[in-house]
């Protein structure tokens, strides 16, 4: 399970630090089970991060959390359009301990019998896995911060609420959650409303019209343009293509993954027990999410303003119709001026090795990381909403500095997202 990678990972010829990867069962460790969840755990060398851990869950449903490792917040990243992996100056494990988990069963390298029908099953499977993980790594009593994006707007609140329900701080000490560009409310129009005619599907009509103007239009990031960027993951870059890297036998052996054909995102019926209609659980905004806000007083909802998959205004409407802390919605207006501050990373040249090895073109962080006033943030009754100007659907990919700042606030390293000052780590 231990990865000794001091001499570098496959095609990544630099030290990515201590890490552990493998699979653990979703039930009692003594029970025979065909169902396991695969994980990759990156301990932190930050002395402040002694008794805490961040859990990352990708969305989909059915998307592997390796997308988070590989193109967002892991210690090495391989962004679309780049030649090979590079060190990530904004790796979350510089701040704290981080684990990435493929879940539910059927996602990524998590193999077994597909039995999940709804979020209740998702919760039960994950909590069984998590108890085994806590025992394996002896991290009883650690503060837990659950994070994720997109469909994790369902996963994270449901799992967090169930963990809090146990009252068991030895295994389930949830201390806050962070969800970016999340699904929070109904994915379909109310069933009482008759089906709309094709011409009334405004979102679809806008996309069709936009493709005429920009054949490479990306609903996940509005400013993308041709040509398509090749991606080792095949996603979220629109170029698609094979998942060559994580299909390699040497890579799968190194990360203790089952030998299999890897897909970064699975087809939904392959996740929810063959259901073509998918997960029928109530939206998290109608119960689990406000419950977690009330009990942790530490919830962040972030939204990239270049996302055309899920709109920031739609997320705000959901918040305004949600009741927590005994009141409905935010009671005061958001700031009319930009007040979310993202620092400069003074060590980016050193981390990327650009001083010794100048590159003809700057890496993605220079183009899209952003610094200074990057959005609007607002906090009431334990809920923080924050926008990020340059981000699309995947905040940590397009604006890694902003996502790192969000994590600093979630973990209590800074007192406010309006705080002006350097990152708390080098």
The per-residue pLDDT for range 135-148, each reduced to its tens digit, is 999 999 999 999 99
Give pLDDT, residue 242. 60
pLDDT (tens digit, 9 = 90+) per residue, 161-200? 999 999 999 999 999 999 999 988 865 555 566 666 666 7
User: Which residue among the candidates 307, 378, 406, 411 is catalytic per the annotation?
Assistant: 307
pLDDT tens figures, 329-348: 999 999 888 899 999 877 66
Residue 317 has pLDDT above 80, yes or no: yes
* Number of folded domains that form the chain: 1
Confidence of residue 276 (pLDDT cuts 50, 70, 90): low
Query: Residue 11 has what pLDDT?
Result: 72
Residue 294 annotated in active site: no
State the pairing for strand pair 340-342/327-328.
unpaired
Q: What is the DSSP string of 294-339?
A: HHHS-EEEEEETT-SSS-HHHHHHHHHT-EETTEES-SSPPPSS--
pTM: predicted TM-score of the whole model, two decimal places: 0.90
Q: Which CATH number characterizes residue 112's domain?
A: 3.40.50.1820
CA 290 remoteness from chain centre: 20
Helix (H, G, I), strand (E, B) or coil at 404: helix
The pLDDT confidence band at residue 356, using thresholds 50, 70 and 90, is: very low
Does 281 qualify as catalytic in the annotation? no
Is 205 among the domain residues?
A: no
Which residues, 6 or more positions from 423, have their beta carbon under 8 angstroms from its beta carbon? 343, 345, 404, 405, 408
| Residue 237 domain-assigned (yes or no) | no
Burial of residue 334 (number of CB atoms within 10 Å: 0-12, 13-18, 19+): middle
Q: Which residue in 19, 65, 73, 150 is the catalytic one?
A: 150
Structure tokens belonging to residue 358: 């100048």
Asked if residue 420 belongs to a domain, the reply is: no
In three-state secondary structure terms, 202 is helix
Banded pLDDT at 86 (limits 50, 70, 90): confident
231 counts as catalytic:
no
Residue 225 lies in a domain: no
Joined tokens for residue 127: 């909590």
> What is the Cα–Cα distance from 343 to 245, expressed in whole angstroms?
33
Q: What range does the domain containing 174 cover? A: 2-196+242-410
The CB density around residue 213, as the number of other CB atoms within 10 Å, is 7
Q: Given the residues 224, 393, 406, 411, select the one marked as catalytic.
A: 393
* Residue 213 falls inside a structural domain: no
pLDDT per position as a tens digit, 398-408: 999 999 999 99
Confirm whether 6 is domain-assigned. Answer: yes
């Amino acid at each position: 399970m231990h990865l000794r990678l001091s001499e570098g990972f496959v095609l990544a010829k630099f030290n990515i630090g201590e890490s552990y990867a493998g699979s653990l069962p979703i039930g009692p460790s003594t029970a025979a089970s065909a169902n396991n969840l695969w994980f990759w755990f990156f301990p932190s060398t930050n002395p402040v991060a002694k008794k805490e851990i961040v859990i990352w869950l990708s969305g989909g449903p059915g998307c592997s959390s390796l997308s988070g490792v590989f193109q967002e917040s892991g210690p090495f990243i391989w962004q679309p359009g780049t030649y090979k992996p590079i060190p990530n100056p904004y790796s979350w494990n510089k701040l704290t301990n981080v684990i990435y988990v493929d879940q539910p069963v059927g996602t990524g390298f998590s193999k077994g019998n597909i039995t999940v029908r709804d979020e209740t099953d998702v919760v039960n499977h994950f909590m069984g896995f998590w108890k085994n993980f806590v025992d394996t790594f002896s991290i009883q009593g650690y503060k837990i911060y659950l994070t994720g994006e997109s469909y994790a707007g369902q996963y994270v609140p449901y799992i967090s609420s169930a963990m809090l329900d146990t009252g068991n701080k030895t295994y389930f000490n949830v201390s806050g959650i962070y969800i970016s560009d999340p699904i929070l409310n109904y994915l379909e129009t109310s069933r009482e409303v008759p089906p709309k005619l094709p011409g009334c599907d405004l979102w679809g009509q806008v996309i069709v019209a936009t493709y005429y103007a920009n054949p490479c239009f990306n609903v996940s990031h509005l400013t993308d343009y041709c040509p398509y960027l090749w991606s080792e993951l095949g996603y979220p870059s629109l170029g698609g293509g094979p998942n060559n890297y994580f299909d390699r036998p040497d890579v799968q052996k190194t990360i203790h993954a089952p030998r299999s054909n890897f897909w970064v995102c699975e087809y939904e019926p392959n996740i929810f027990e063959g259901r073509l209609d998918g997960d029928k659980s109530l939206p998290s905004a109608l119960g689990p999410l406000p419950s977690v806000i009330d009990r942790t007083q530490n919830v962040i909802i972030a939204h990239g303003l270049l996302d055309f998959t899920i709109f920031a205004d739609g997320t705000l409407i959901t918040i305004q119709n949600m009741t927590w802390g005994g009141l409905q919605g935010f009671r005061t207006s958001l700031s009319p001026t930009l007040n979310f501050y993202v620092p400069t990373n003074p060590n980016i040249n050193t981390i990327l090795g650009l001083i010794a090895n100048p590159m003809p073109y700057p890496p993605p962080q220079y183009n899209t990381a952003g610094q200074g006033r990057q959005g609007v943030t607002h906090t009431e009754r334990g809920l923080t909403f924050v926008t990020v100007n340059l981000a699309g659907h995947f905040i940590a990919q397009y604006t890694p500095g902003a996502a790192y700042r969000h994590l600093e606030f979630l973990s209590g390293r800074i007192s406010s997202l309006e705080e002006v000052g350097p990152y708390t780590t080098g």
